[in-house]
Amino acid sequence: MAAKVIDGKALAATVRQEFKRRTDSLIEAGLRPGLAVILVGDNPASRAYVRNKTKACADVGIYSLLSEFTVNTPQDDILRHIHQLNADPAIHGILVQLPLPPHFDLRLILDAIAQEKDVDGFHLYNVGGLISGNTVFPPCTPYGVQRLLESENIDVAGQNVVVVGASNIVGKPMALMLLQRDATVCICHAKTRDLAQFTVLADILIVAAGKPNLILPEMVKTSAVVIDVGINRLPDGRLIGDVDFEGVRQKASYITPVPGGVGPMTVTMLLGNTVESAERFAALRH
């Protein structure tokens, strides 16, 4: 039987209603959640992601402030701006859209964000918190995947989870978050020899490599849960994931589509982290 397709768009819409209700309550209490987005350079994909995030904020009632910097902006100007946002009571979340142009010191910039406003979860404190299970904010893409699994009551405890992709923003935090939930986790990357010998063992396979059709049906265990984080744009403009969706869905028990799977949940969890942050600020006022 073909896999159940997990509808990330529908789940995102439901979860956003919850975040809208929480935003409305905060506004009633005199505090509108605020997200600052920093965009450096003119990467068209980054610009599209930022547009998507600020629109999503508007949809749930979160105030968003977009600050744009040219690629030639001195790094100190960006750091100074982050420090101003750290001190701004109207702002509860700050994110720097990645990737940054390569001449910027990514670590220095991310670590300039106040921990309590680090809604993307990339500050070193948050990264370290993934090890011990007490982040201030979980990073949004793995958090979205976790929420997708929960929505289908897929318990990860004791399951073999294979994460394909070991980046700092998706693969590694994803693996640590699932380990924290008692999964047995294996992380694969570009230098993994014979990827299939790992992926066939996965009860839950999470793929975030950015390689179209990396995962073929013969690499997937029958009835596995397959979560496709990858986003790849084909020359004809279509978006596809890293998984051969049509082939693998005949074998898996659950699968996420691209688009309409993990993507909408990533932005949704960013909204959630921002609302959560605003609630913490509100609690401190009392």
Q: How far is CA 38 from each of CA 55, 96, 97, rounded to the nearest angstrom?
A: 15, 5, 6
Is 97 among the residues known to form the active site? Answer: yes
Which residue in the set 26, 85, 188, 243 belongs to the binding site for ligand NAP (CB under 6 A)? 188
For residue 72 the two structure tokens come to 């030639």
Q: Which stretch binds ligand NAP (CB under 6 A): 173-181, 197-205, 206-214, 247-255?
A: 206-214
Q: How far is CA 76 from each of CA 79, 120, 174, 175, 226, rounded to the nearest angstrom?
A: 5, 21, 32, 34, 43
The catalytic position among 118, 120, 203, 242 is 120
Specify the length of the chain in residues: 286
Q: Is residue 113 close enough to count as binding ligand NAP by CB under 6 A? A: no
Q: Is residue 109 close enough to count as binding ligand NAP by CB under 6 A? A: no
CB-nearer residue toward ligand NAP: 245 or 281: 245
Is 53 among the residues known to form the active site? Answer: yes
* Total site size for ligand NAP, rule CB under 6 A: 26
Q: Is residue 171 close enough to count as binding ligand NAP by CB under 6 A? A: yes
* Distance of closest approach, residue 231 Cβ to ligand NAP, in angstroms: 4
Which uninterrupted H or E stretch holds 146? helix 140-151
Q: Map the footprint of ligand NAP across residues 230-269, applying CB under 6 A.
A: 230-232, 262-263, 266
Q: Map the footprint of ligand NAP across residues 8-67, applying CB under 6 A.
A: none
Cite the active site residues. 53, 97, 120
